[in-house]
Amino acid sequence: MVQYEIRVTGRVQGVGFRYYVQQQAKLLNVTGWVRNTFDGGVMVVAQGPEPAVKTLIDYLWVGPPLSLVKSVHHAELQAIETYTDFEVRY
């Protein structure tokens, strides 16, 4: 099990990006959360088997139809909390 913090920039707010991430994470059985950031980006914390989390990162580059992703930066974190679901945070 791995945990990554992922920051996504581009046109990712107001286009359904958080709900897209939640949907993809649930399909991959990845837990964690997603929220908008004050600088116009999106932050994701994803926890699960490494192949599933890496696949989620690939999906972040795609995004929903109205999005335009410019960058996806990720860093592995030491898991200090175990998530049981994937939620949209506000």
Active site amino acids: 18, 36
C-beta pairs of 70-76 under 8 Å, 24+ apart in sequence: 70/9, 70/10, 71/7, 71/8, 71/9, 71/10, 72/6, 72/7, 72/8, 73/6, 73/7, 74/4, 74/5, 74/6, 74/7, 75/4, 75/5, 76/2, 76/3, 76/4
